[in-house]
Amino acid sequence: MAPLRAGIVGAGIAGASCAGTLAAAGWDVDIFDKARGAGGRLSTRRLEPGWATLGTPFISAKRDPFRSQLRDWARQGWLAPVRGEVLHGRANKGWAHAQLQNHYLPLIEPSQIVRKLLGTAHLYTESRVSAVRPRTIILENGQVMGDYDCVVCSVPVPQAIPLLDALPRLSERLGDVRYRPIWSFLMRWEGGPEADIIRFDDHLIDLAVRQTAGGEGLWTVHSSHEFAETYLEASEMEASTRAASAVMGLLGLPWPVEVEASHLWRHAKPESTIGGFWLGDRENRVALIGDGIAGAGVERAWESGVRLAQALMLAEVELADCPAISALDAG
């Protein structure tokens, strides 16, 4: 019997975990991403030397199965637990040291971890999808990729809605999901606290994370949502100058601070979600996953992909002569 075929839009951690789980079970999986590589919000910026993260700075797990998945990745040398050096507060008002349980920092590029999750799935990069139809994925260049037993859309909800014109039963369920933005910056400065992570108690700046693979004094700084909403349409120059000035003020450090890169994540984190792990249209064999469906964060996104894959595999076994997704509506 020919293997079942899945087509997946979006090679972030949700799409990749779904793709890899299905591929490991013998499915023939195509996965398309508009970017130059896999990773999505876990993608990395290449530097001379090394790399740095502008997206998710660390990966954490609240429970199994993701907790044991992270331990496994740590055993493989991909991650290391965050230990001790976390500061909360403002330098001039005193710092509090804290422990972060079950939080890991990547030792290899997070995008490589996502890439490894794909297993034998076929990754098509720089392949922007313009529409999802029953059993079919249409690329922006007009190419029609089709006859899938299941199509999975794994992109942030505001980016999914325009792809789903032919699937009103799904798109109508998505209207209420909102995302909030974050500006991220790579900044280099001298001095300051010895910590690896600084959590600011501030309305403009949220977090700074030391980037050890990118050379001395390199930090990723994440703005607050409020900052990003205020500077949503600002130039990189304006946003980075405002952020650098705020960070130096908070740390009590003098300039110079060099801003080496900046990125506005318009869809950084969902503030509301659909609930459950995935949403499916069984007649049309299309399902949606990702953090906009399952809840904010890497853990929920990963689990949404794995859970959908498991449900598809179960449907395949239980309903051998029926379409794999026919047993599914939501899970």
Ligand X SMILES: Cc1cc2nc3c(=O)[nH]c(=O)nc-3n(C[C@H](O)[C@H](O)[C@H](O)COP(=O)(O)OP(=O)(O)OC[C@H]3O[C@@H](n4cnc5c(N)ncnc54)[C@H](O)[C@@H]3O)c2cc1C
Indicate the residue among 105 and 313 with the shorter CB distance to ligand X.
105
Contact 78, 107 (CB under 8 A): yes
Q: How far apart are CA 291 and CA 24, in angstroms?
A: 23
SS3 label, residue 59: strand
Q: Which of 171, 184, 224, 262 binds ligand X (CB under 6 A)?
A: 184
Contact stretch for ligand X (CB under 6 A) within 51-59, 72-80, 248-256, 307-315? 51-59
Residue type, position 204, single letter: L
164 binds ligand X (CB under 6 A): no
Residues 126-155 that bind ligand X (CB under 6 A): 128-129, 154-155
Shortest reach from residue 13's CB to ligand X, in Å: 5
Q: Of 285, 284, 291, 289, whose CA–CA distance to 308 is shortest?
A: 289
| Cβ atoms within 10 Å of 309's Cβ, excluding its own | 27
Q: Which is nearer to ligand X, 196 or 316 (CB)?
A: 196
Q: Strand, helix or coil at 195?
A: coil
| Among residues 4, 9, 221, 250, the one that binds ligand X under rule CB under 6 A | 9
12 binds ligand X (CB under 6 A): yes
311-330 residues in contact with ligand X (CB under 6 A) are none
User: Is 100 one of the binding residues for ligand X (CB under 6 A)?
Assistant: no
Residues from 212 through 231 that contact ligand X (CB under 6 A): 222
- Smallest separation (angstroms) from ligand X to the CB of 321: 32
- Give the one residue of 85, 269, 276, 310 binding ligand X; rule: CB under 6 A: 269
| Nearest CB to ligand X, comparing residues 192 and 290 | 290
- How large is the greatest C-alpha to C-alpha distance in the chain, in angstroms? 69
Contact between 303 and ligand X per CB under 6 A = no
- Residue 117, interface with ligand X (CB under 6 A)? no
Say if CB 155 and CB 301 are below 8 A apart: no
**In terms of CB distance, is 259 or 316 closer to ligand X?**
259
For 269, the token pair is 């984190």
Give yes or no for a contact between 196 and 57, defined as CB atoms under 8 angstroms apart: no
* Rounded CA separation 307/35 (Å): 25
| Nearest-approach distance from CB 53 to ligand X, in angstroms | 9
Cβ nearer to ligand X, comparing 111 with 316: 111
127: which residues sit within 8 A by CB, 6+ positions away?
Answer: 32, 33, 34, 139, 140
Q: What is the DSSP string of 146-188?
A: ---SEEEE-S-HHHHGGGGTT-HHHHGGGTT--EEEEEEEEEE
For ligand X (CB under 6 A), the number of binding residues is 38
Residue positions counted in the chain: 331
Binding site for ligand X (CB under 6 A): 9-15, 32-35, 40-42, 55-58, 60, 128-129, 154-156, 159, 182, 184, 222, 265, 268-269, 290-291, 296-299, 301
